[in-house]
Structure 1
């Protein structure tokens, strides 16, 4: 199970892990399994763990006063899932993170991750790279949501994340894109013509 995480770290750093560092990573990340529809995090709880997804799919969402779900993140294999604000600030989360499929994770506390970062320079480089990519992705998503039509948002999503279209149903993708499922259905029909 840890091999995928070790491979991920080695692919996202110029400093391959030594055998000793690999052992430290394996000791710090604990395996966890979630059944489909089981929560990794529920709104109101403090997010105590960051998880690396080995197998499966998850979604992060909030629920408004009318009971409507708003998807903020979708996660599949080789993605990291957490509520960073809650983890860092130790505040109750505004989000739920739920397994969409049976999911296998490797989880770590913030304290253990900080300890590992003190010992393993490769992790510092990997996290810096992940933070940069995450900031760029968030900026692009915000710009797309503000500036683009629903059709253009879906086109970009399908181009950049074709694997999500296979793994998540239309209503979840529509929520992630900030459009109705009826609009998404219409867009998909038009794109097939």
Structure 2
């Protein structure tokens, strides 16, 4: 499974990995699997590992005092999942992260990631580029959620993440967008009529 990550890493660096760097990557990542609905992280526990999805899909969510799930993140192949704050600080997570489908993934601890940042330039380049993309995506999502109507939020979601729209059911997408399932159904109907 680590070979899938090595292939993914190529898009972030122009220089090929050395034999030593490949060995470090093989040592750092732990192949793992989750069955559908099995947790990577449960609220109240620290996030000990971050996951690179090789095959399958996952979701990150919080459950409010009424027991309603609110989707924070959805992920598919070549996406990273975990509670970053908990992983970095070692504090209990407020989120649940579980597999939406049976999932194959590569796990990495915080300590292993810090070692790779020092010793594998391609991993460092990847991390910097992903941090930039993540900040842009979070800023877009925040702006959309505070200033856009449901129709625009859904249109942007489809434009930005077509692979997520195909893999996740309507109720999860609605939760991710901060709208009801009925509102999403109405928005989709209106789009089809145009």
Q: Tell me the TM-score normalized by structure 1.
A: 0.98
Q: Is the 8 A contact 1:15 1:121 kept in 2?
A: no
**Secondary structure in 1 matching 2:101:** coil
| Aligned residues: CA RMSD | 0.8
Q: Determine the C-alpha separation between the residues in 2 that align with 1:14 and 1:72.
A: 33
**Where does residue 139 of structure 1 map in the other structure?**
139
**Where does residue 109 of structure 1 map in the other structure?**
109
**Secondary structure in 1 matching 2:104:** strand
**Where does residue 53 of structure 1 map in the other structure?**
53
**Where does residue 7 of structure 1 map in the other structure?**
7
Q: Determine the C-alpha separation between the residues in 2 that align with 1:155 and 1:58.
A: 22
**Secondary structure in 1 matching 2:77:** coil
Measured against aligned partners, the alpha-carbon deviations of 1:150-179 in whole angstroms (never above 9, x if no partner) come to 000000101111111111000000000000
1:88 equivalent to 2:88? Answer yes
**Where does residue 62 of structure 1 map in the other structure?**
62
Q: Please list every run of 5 or more consecutive structure 2 residues that lacks an aligned counterpart in the other structure.
A: none
Instruction: Give aligned pairs, total.
Output: 193
* Offset, 1:16: 2.6
Q: Tell me the TM-score normalized by structure 2.
A: 0.97
Measured against aligned partners, the alpha-carbon deviations of 1:99-129 in whole angstroms (never above 9, x if no partner) come to 0000000001000111122111111111011
Q: Determine the C-alpha separation between the residues in 2 that align with 1:52 and 1:83.
A: 13
